Structure 1
Amino acid sequence: MRKSKLSVSMMCADLINLERDIRILEANKVDYLHIDIMDASFVPNLTFGPDFINAIRKVTSIPLDIHLLMEHPRVIIRSMDIRENDIVTIHSECKESIMENVAFIKQRGAKFGLALNPDTSIEEVRKYLPYVDVILLMLIVPGFAGSTMIHGMMEKVGETKQYLHEHKFDNIEICVDGSVNCERAKYMRELGASIFVGGTAGIFRKGMKLEKAISAFKEYIE
């Protein structure tokens, strides 16, 4: 079984005190900072951009897990400071050449992630699997933090894991994103997920200190 990894969602952090939160995340040894970049077209929201990525680089060495929820990610990808050990994920449903973006991401030494919306099956992206390092499964309708998990989506983790095994792609990691609390993370860990995006449901929990939330989450996935 793979080592579990925690990727903490920056759109759920206290943006007014972001560097403070990052220092806490560093001290508690999270694996990635998950950064959602949205275009208000692919999803109905706008979040961060390349300048935010570059600013984050100045205050931490934690690898970045960059998730581009965009119809046309190419320009943004080429504007970012992408580094070795990062994950850069684009959506299978985007309107650009997947392979062109794969090539650029891999040239930078980063891992290539391919995200699937809730109604997209792993079979639909089979031809890209030889180039994929991470499959990101969206468990909610993407766009906003705090959305409710779609019923039955956790089972998609097991189905995806089985599909990858049957087609000899056991090297691909499964990442889960959207309403991932401790109990759900533990269940999806058993189903085959190894990277967990922690947001309002799992890490930035009301009434709980960030340090305690991280510790509790890690206990469930380790």
Structure 2
Amino acid sequence: MKLQISASIMCADPLNMARDLDILEKYDVEYLHCDVMDGMFVPNLMLSTEVCNAVSRKYKTPMDIHLMVEKPERVIPWFDMKEGDMVSIHYESTPHVQRALSMIRDRGASPILAINPATPLECVREVLPDIKMLMLMTVNPGFAAQKLIPECLNKIRRARTMLDELGYSHIPVEVDGNCSLANIPKMAAMGAEVFVVGSSSVFDKKLGIENGVKAVRDVFAQCEKA
């Protein structure tokens, strides 16, 4: 699997979001990452159902909807989902993980399980048959522009090894948190394949979105040659 961009739209200019998303689609990012936060599971509020559904209707780029909410099975029916979209729930957010993953699958999207930095990898074993991707948070969720938790690099490697050894080599690892131009090579070397990119790369104001996407692609090319 080639390395892929999931561009975090919470880092777009809130007063010019359509302009920013037009650029992302023009430059063929693989996913538009939509963070949904309820102020309970994480200490922030972000991106309403209306925003996510409007983006989904306007753009052909698949959605990567990240539900950082308590009891996600309550809100899954509120979202428009189409084939090619991905929707992630957190292991820590509900006692009914498989039920929530099944609801996503029944609506035509690919279910993803996300886990926080301090959550042990062992917890994902029971639901590996139910997911299309494993998302590892490399910062504590809730806010952009945080620094990578160093131990998470080793966790990426351990996750990739675990998936391969258990017969799930087809499940890619997605990483979310400080996927900067400097950190992407380290993460890729550990086995990450999908990168949620935001303020430290694609949305770096010094670069601009066009140059940010190109810079990430250049880093990907270097990683794939290594």
Fold agreement, TM-score > 0.5: yes
> Which residue in 2 is equivalent to 1:155?
154
SS in 1 for 2:7: strand
Letter in 2 for 1:194: E
Structure 1 spans left out of the alignment, 5+ residues: none
Mapped contact 1:71–1:96 kept (Cα < 8 A): no
SS in 2 for 1:147: coil
Residues 127-146 of structure 1: per-residue CA shift (max 9 Å, x gap): 00111111110000110011
> Which residue in 1 is equivalent to 2:40?
41
Letter in 2 for 1:215: K
Q: Distance in 2 between matches of 1:122 and 1:207?
A: 36
Q: Within 5 Å, which residues of 2 pair with 1:201-212?
A: 201-212=200-211
Q: Distance in 2 between matches of 1:182 and 1:147?
A: 14
Q: Distance in 2 between matches of 1:189 and 1:134?
A: 15
Q: Within 5 Å, which residues of 2 pair with 1:1-222?
A: 2-222=1-221
Letter in 2 for 1:8: A
Instruction: Give the superposed CA RMSD.
Output: 1.1
SS in 1 for 2:24: helix
Q: Distance in 2 between matches of 1:26 and 1:78?
A: 26
For normalisation by structure 1, the TM-score amounts to 0.96
Q: Distance in 2 between matches of 1:104 and 1:141?
A: 26
Structure 2 spans left out of the alignment, 5+ residues: 222-226
Residues 45-102 of structure 1: per-residue CA shift (max 9 Å, x gap): 0101211112112321110000001111112210100111011000000124111111
Bigger CA drift: 95-104 or 196-205?
95-104
Letter in 2 for 1:18: M
Q: Distance in 2 between matches of 1:94 and 1:125?
A: 13
For normalisation by structure 2, the TM-score amounts to 0.94
Q: Distance in 1 between matches of 2:145 and 2:44?
A: 13
Mapped contact 1:36–1:47 kept (Cα < 8 A): yes
Quick one: percent identity of the two aligned structures? 36
Residues 146-187 of structure 1: per-residue CA shift (max 9 Å, x gap): 112112211211111011111111111100000111121122
Q: Distance in 2 between matches of 1:39 and 1:156?
A: 27
Letter in 1 for 2:181: C
Q: Distance in 1 between matches of 2:94 and 2:70?
A: 5
Mapped contact 1:19–1:59 kept (Cα < 8 A): no
Mapped contact 1:49–1:76 kept (Cα < 8 A): no
Q: Distance in 1 between matches of 2:90 and 2:41?
A: 10
Mapped contact 2:56–2:62 kept (Cα < 8 A): no
Residues 13-47 of structure 1: per-residue CA shift (max 9 Å, x gap): 11110110111001110000001101111110010
Q: Distance in 2 between matches of 1:140 and 1:47?
A: 17
Letter in 2 for 1:29: D
